[in-house]
Structure 1
Amino acid sequence: MTASPVLDEPITQHATMGGDTQSLTEQVALGIFIAVPFLALLAAIPIAWGGWLGWSDLLIMGAMYWFTGHGITVGFHRLFTHKSFKPNRFVKNALAVAGSMAVQGPLVRWVADHRKHHKFSDRDGDPHSPWKYGTNLRALWKGFWHAHMMWLFDSEQTVQRKYAPDLLKDRDLIRISRHFWAFVLLSMLLPAALGGLITWSWQGALTAFFWGSLVRVALLHHVTWSINSICHTIGDRPFVSRDKSANVWWLAIPSMGESWHNLHHADPTCARHGVQRGQLDTSARLIWLLEKAGWVKEVRWPVAERIQAKLVSAQPVSS
């Protein structure tokens, strides 16, 4: 397998179309890409009730959700942010493209934000803590929406050279991150193309665009953002962590295992987040399959003794 083109020194300050300050144009574009899919999500039930939902729409939406969602969870998060395993070049680039097609921002910016979140989790400096404004009900409600999505509009961006210098040494990842706009177009247009080809009709293309592009993007957006908001507000905390990260079981399937968030903050580089019995984690299963195929190596699987030591119940009781 050809080695990844990694440079000895960083070649750029950042790998996005913008810099470390978000422009008004970027904020407007961001607002559009949040608002339009969300409006489609609100209209989904009446449109489905009206008969504008076919088997091909569900198939395309499910496939796109699975592909782009795991691009975020396995690629952007467990690989590029936390280095939970080492992939070959093809898998590395495929995961970078899949995550970019989730329409959650350029790769390097996403990783820089998330690494900063872990450094300051639920403390001053955390880009998206729901506890930012305090602990009373009004402050927490404001903080919840900040953590869920409003933090995305902060004009001051995370410094990429500081928080993602390793990614800035990789020509493949810089190229993919800088061409984020192209993968957004691909992500939005591919479902329509598939729907048109499957049904051989303009109506099939239109409904596939509605469900496979707009509704799918909105669902994945809000599920991903719920890890920042819901999973730092409510849930179970069986493991010791220095923040308020928690497990929320009913988000496990749509989040592809990311909502087992307490263990993740207790052991961030672990490739599997759902480590207890019955905790579904499809992202970990995909990494396992890639490892079996010989496409990834050095996977940081959970170690029983390490996990046991992190349980709250295993901590010594102070006198």
Structure 2
Amino acid sequence: MSTRIASDLSPAAPQPMVAGEKTTTEMFLVKLFAVVPALALAAAVPLAWGWGLGWVDLGLAAFFYTLTCLGVTIGFHRYFTHGAFKATRGLRIALAVTGSMAMQGPIIGWVADHRRHHAYADREGDPHSPWLFGTSARALAKGFWHAHLGWLFQREQTNAARFTPDLLADADIQRVNRWFPALTVVTLLAPALAGGLITWSWWGAATGFFWAGLVRVAVLHHVTWSVNSICHLIGDRPFTARDKSANFWPLAILSMGESWHNSHHADPTCARHGVRRGQVDVSARLIRVFEKLGWATGVRWPRPERLARNLKTTAP
């Protein structure tokens, strides 16, 4: 099944933007998944000070961070949300699974929220714009919190029937969507199992769970949320876009290329976000590998004429 989707879903679509509210259980799980890893991150510095952190933990954290981050950037975002390429069934399922292991919510809800974000970017209806409360210092501080984390705690639920009809019709994706609780368990316990087996100790399992499980999830959460918040507030805006998206280079490596956000909003279906010389985009590099292997086809690479058309004629 092709996931080539028009990035700009029209606000005039007949179906409502919001479909009901999250249940009490769903709200509890959102808070649990957001707060527990964050607490682990807060405890990380004193725990790392002289004990509790070794090369095995660092290696496992780097591996699981890279795996799950690319599942979000290539899978949830560039493929499922924007249809930047076509994928074989095996790659499609693998991207859905690894993206789900980032603990950022089930795939259908994630994609629905992000398509809604592009349809209403930095306007009323955008689920996580930092500009919704005004432009004063106080309003932007409130907006930053809302865009970074606060929006997750709102009860309204984006209408999946309107924004993700293609995913609702895909039996494989429906199955992965239902697997989200099980994949959450896997993403936390797999590092513990690996740490225990590598060190052959319960202590290795415990530190693997803490560093490559909880702390890794928390770091990835905040990197992803920073694209929603920081990358709509500060940075370069070389391309014309209908919103305030910006390129923020300090996050380029940790976000696997997602922080070239102005470039992305100017050409949402493009498979590469770092389109200019020197802009590191690890996600695009891996998509190129998938293309060479024949797993990805119809890849929408940047074209000079599209870049020239979107480039601002005056300095930002």
TM-score, length of structure 2 as denominator length:
0.93
SS where residue 278 of structure 1 aligns?
Answer: coil
SS where residue 300 of structure 1 aligns?
Answer: coil
Mind listing any 5+ residue stretches in structure 2 that lack a counterpart? 3-18
Give the aligned partner of residue 166 of structure 1: 166
Give the aligned partner of residue 293 of structure 1: 293
CA deviations 1:129-160 (Å, max 9, x no partner) are 00011111101100111000111111111000
SS where residue 284 of structure 1 aligns?
Answer: helix
SS where residue 181 of structure 1 aligns?
Answer: helix
Partners of 1:180 and 1:36 in 2: CA distance? 17
Partners of 1:102 and 1:59 in 2: CA distance? 17
Partners of 1:74 and 1:282 in 2: CA distance? 10
Q: Residue 161 of structure 1 aligns to which amino acid in structure 2? A: A
Deviation at 1:29, TM superposition (A): 1.7
Q: Residue 311 of structure 1 aligns to which amino acid in structure 2? A: L
Structure 1 pair 58–206 and aligned structure 2 pair: CA distance change class (3 A): same
Deviation at 1:20, TM superposition (A): 4.0
Partners of 1:233 and 1:171 in 2: CA distance? 38
Asked if residue 65 in structure 1 is aligned to residue 65 in structure 2, the reply is: yes
Structure 1 contact 308–314 (Cα < 8 Å) conserved: no
SS where residue 21 of structure 2 aligns?
Answer: coil
Give the aligned partner of residue 211 of structure 1: 211
Give the aligned partner of residue 112 of structure 2: 112
Give the aligned partner of residue 139 of structure 1: 139
Partners of 2:146 and 2:46 in 1: CA distance? 30
Partners of 1:300 and 1:274 in 2: CA distance? 13
Give the aligned partner of residue 6 of structure 2: none
Partners of 1:20 and 1:302 in 2: CA distance? 38
Partners of 1:37 and 1:154 in 2: CA distance? 20
CA deviations 1:236-288 (Å, max 9, x no partner) are 00000010000000000000000000010000000000000100000000100
Partners of 2:52 and 2:147 in 1: CA distance? 34
Partners of 1:72 and 1:179 in 2: CA distance? 16
Partners of 1:239 and 1:248 in 2: CA distance? 13
Give the aligned partner of residue 22 of structure 2: 22
Partners of 1:72 and 1:115 in 2: CA distance? 14
Deviation at 1:314, TM superposition (A): 7.0
SS where residue 127 of structure 1 aligns?
Answer: coil
Structure 1 contact 20–160 (Cα < 8 Å) conserved: no
Q: Residue 63 of structure 2 aligns to which amino acid in structure 1? A: A
Deviation at 1:70, TM superposition (A): 0.3
Matches for 1:124-273 after TM superposition, within 5 Å: 124-273=124-273
Q: Residue 172 of structure 2 aligns to which amino acid in structure 1? A: D
Deviation at 1:184, TM superposition (A): 0.5
Deviation at 1:313, TM superposition (A): 2.2
Q: Residue 74 of structure 2 aligns to which amino acid in structure 1? A: V
CA deviations 1:160-196 (Å, max 9, x no partner) are 0000001111000001011210110100110000000
Deviation at 1:47, TM superposition (A): 1.0
Partners of 1:152 and 1:302 in 2: CA distance? 32
Deviation at 1:50, TM superposition (A): 2.8
Give the aligned partner of residue 7 of structure 1: none
Structure 1 contact 248–260 (Cα < 8 Å) conserved: yes
Give the aligned partner of residue 8 of structure 2: none
Q: Which runs of 4+ in 1 moved over 2 A?
A: none
TM-score, length of structure 1 as denominator length:
0.92
Partners of 1:161 and 1:242 in 2: CA distance? 25
Aligned residues: 299
Indicate the larger mover: 31-40 or 80-89: 31-40
Structure 1 contact 257–273 (Cα < 8 Å) conserved: yes
SS where residue 157 of structure 1 aligns?
Answer: strand
Give the aligned partner of residue 9 of structure 2: none
Structure 1 pair 20–50 and aligned structure 2 pair: CA distance change class (3 A): farther
Q: Residue 178 of structure 1 aligns to which amino acid in structure 2? A: R
Deviation at 1:291, TM superposition (A): 0.4
Partners of 2:125 and 2:248 in 1: CA distance? 24
Partners of 2:110 and 2:26 in 1: CA distance? 15
Give the aligned partner of residue 16 of structure 2: none
Q: Residue 215 of structure 1 aligns to which amino acid in structure 2? A: V
Partners of 1:149 and 1:93 in 2: CA distance? 28
Q: What CA RMSD, in Å, does the superposition of the two structures yield over aligned residues?
A: 1.3
Give the aligned partner of residue 9 of structure 1: none
Deviation at 1:51, TM superposition (A): 1.4
Deviation at 1:32, TM superposition (A): 1.5
SS where residue 234 of structure 2 aligns?
Answer: coil
Structure 1 contact 246–260 (Cα < 8 Å) conserved: yes
Partners of 1:263 and 1:36 in 2: CA distance? 33
Q: Residue 28 of structure 1 aligns to which amino acid in structure 2? A: F
Q: Residue 180 of structure 1 aligns to which amino acid in structure 2? A: F
Give the aligned partner of residue 77 of structure 2: 77
Partners of 1:145 and 1:43 in 2: CA distance? 22
CA deviations 1:102-153 (Å, max 9, x no partner) are 0000000000000000000000100000001111110110011100011111
Q: Residue 96 of structure 1 aligns to which amino acid in structure 2? A: A
Q: Residue 265 of structure 2 aligns to which amino acid in structure 1? A: H
